[in-house]
Amino acid sequence: MQTGAVVWMTGLSGSGKSTLANGLARELLQRGHAAYVLDGDVLRAGLLHGLTGVGAPYEPPLSPDLRIETSTSDMRDSLSPLVEYVLSRILQK
């Protein structure tokens, strides 16, 4: 059995959240873990028409568990700490 976890990514539009999420899911699947990406853009486009808060300004979390600067790192350098962080959380239980 696998320990469940939710990884909630926040950031400005176009900052690479979906790309990182899909890369994380791919890495987890390759290592034998179940993974699924629930993408907010897909939800808004197909399911949640009229969702409130979409046009609101971005408010970064006050104390994130992990911060990845995608504007200054390439995909591999951004993905690596995310994979390590998630694996450390799901394997410690």
Query: What digits encode the pLDDT tens for the residues 61-74?
Result: 999 999 999 999 99
Confidence band of 17 (pLDDT split at 50, 70, 90): very high
What pTM, to 2 d.p., does this model score?
0.84
What's the CA gap between 33 and 13, in Å, rounded?
A: 28
Query: What digits encode the pLDDT tens for the residues 67-93?
Result: 999 999 999 999 999 999 999 988 875
- Distance set, CA 73 to CA 65, 70, 78 (Å): 18, 5, 6
